[in-house]
Structure 1
Amino acid sequence: MASDNTKSRSRSCLGASVAGLVTFITILFLSSATGRQSEQVVKAVAFLSGNSAVTGTVAFSQSVKNGPVTVSGTLNGLDPLSKRGFHIHQSGDLSGGCMSTGSHFNPTEKNHGSPSSEERHIGDLGNIDTDEKGTANFVFEDSKISLNGAFSILGRAVVVHAGEDDLGKGGNPESLKTGNAGGRAACGVIGLA
């Protein structure tokens, strides 16, 4: 028969084991909750319009961990079967229409380029393609823009241009600034969704 000391030690060990198990489960739960928080997605949207018939919506989403931004949208009223320059501009000021949005968002002071170029403005998103009805439906990812931090595009404008962006390969000074994408057909301010 076990002594009272042995029974007491067994209960103490059992109590310590239960307490350890509770602590482990609590840590596991908190780790899981923290993991879920880091998987939250920041979402933003811009509603585009301008002096032309071009209208549409562009959505942006990014994980809090600063992953790539998914850009998706639908724009209507563009020329059929065309390419249009598509950029983030430095300002969300629409007081003078799309012209008051400033130049391409370029905090790193680089030359204009394609979305895949190492040398490019943060706001250089290349071209969007239209179908036979003049509608552009698109989804792509970009790893330079962000919805938080130093390169955040929140409060800035997204602009669709009147012409095709030459992606900095036009062989003239304007190509390295704007991609020779022409006038501004429509724009909208990027805000949290």
Structure 2
Amino acid sequence: MRLFIIAVALILASCQSGSDSETNRTVEMYNGSGDMVGTAVLSELESGIQVEVSLEGLEPGYHGIHIHEFPKCKGPDFTSAGNHFNPDGNEHGLMHPEGSHLGDMPNIEADAGGLVEAELMLPEATLKDGKKSILREEGTSIIVHQGQDDGVSQPGGESGNRLVCGEIKADPEGNSSESPTDPTEQNEDQEE
């Protein structure tokens, strides 16, 4: 009987760790030149998705940040990411009286050294299946803008150019058909 209880506990623990990986995601963030400038860690909570942003290299001050509709970050302007993620067809802006885009978030602030450490929420959004999943279809992206989102202007809060982008792919491992090359392979050829 003890062996049975231990086996069930191990199975439940492995299932739980598997579901944790499906409810957490780390997104690498890149600037228009293709340099990695930080990360966004997404975590599924009961009330939505928590987004922990760590960035460097931004101009000091406030910057708009949103989830956009496609997981495509082609620099330098990142227009490939499309518009804000808006499955309910709402107007833009966290201060809009009739509700906002699902992908709208509060502004982030870069300090005097251009660093950002922020914890944000995407209420009602999910990493699981469904209409409000930011992983539905191919996924989405997270974009940081040049200026502050005013919270009301249509269609995007007049937050300016797109500076930083991270792809939130539904299948982050299945989209790459090429494996990275090993630069040391040429060393072996040269030694012979």
The reply to whether residue 139 of structure 1 matches residue 119 of structure 2 is yes
Equivalent of 2:50 in 56, 61, 70: 70
Distance 1:127 1:133 in 2: 17
Give matches, 1:141-156, under 5 Å. 141-150=121-130, 151-154=132-135, 155-156=139-140
TM-score (norm 1): 0.69
Equivalent of 1:57 in 19, 22, 39: 39
Equivalent of 1:114 in 94, 119, 123: 94
Q: Give the unaligned 5+ runs of structure 2.
A: 174-192
Distance 2:168 2:29 in 1: 10
Structure 1 window deviating more from structure 2 (123-132 vs 40-49): it is: 40-49
Q: Give the unaligned 5+ runs of structure 1.
A: 1-21, 169-174
Classify 1:146/1:111 alpha carbon distance in 2 versus 1 (closer, same or farther; 3 Å).
same
Report what 1:12 is aligned to. none
The reply to whether residue 161 of structure 1 matches residue 139 of structure 2 is no
Classify 1:181/1:54 alpha carbon distance in 2 versus 1 (closer, same or farther; 3 Å).
farther
Per the alignment, in what secondary structure is the counterpart of residue 190 of structure 1? strand
Larger helix percent: 1
Q: Could you say what the CA RMSD is over the residues aligned between the two structures, in angstroms? A: 3.2
Report what 2:24 is aligned to. 43
Distance 2:140 2:166 in 1: 8
Classify 1:90/1:36 alpha carbon distance in 2 versus 1 (closer, same or farther; 3 Å).
same
Distance 2:53 2:108 in 1: 10
Displacement of 1:117 = 6.5
Equivalent of 1:87 in 59, 66, 69: 66
Please tell me the residue identity of whatever aligns with 1:119: G
Distance 1:36 1:117 in 2: 44
What is the total number of aligned residue pairs between the two structures? Answer: 161
Classify 1:139/1:91 alpha carbon distance in 2 versus 1 (closer, same or farther; 3 Å).
same
Equivalent of 1:128 in 75, 83, 108: 108
Distance 1:162 1:110 in 2: 23
Distance 2:64 2:155 in 1: 13
Identity %: 30
Q: Deviations for 1:25-67, whole angstroms, at most 9, x for unmatched residues?
A: x99x979x8799579431112111122678210010115xx54
Displacement of 1:116 = 9.2
Per the alignment, in what secondary structure is the counterpart of residue 100 of structure 1? helix
Classify 1:69/1:124 alpha carbon distance in 2 versus 1 (closer, same or farther; 3 Å).
same
Equivalent of 1:178 in 156, 163, 169: 156
Displacement of 1:140 = 2.7
TM-score (norm 2): 0.70
Distance 1:95 1:158 in 2: 13
| Bigger Rg, structure 1 or 2 | 1
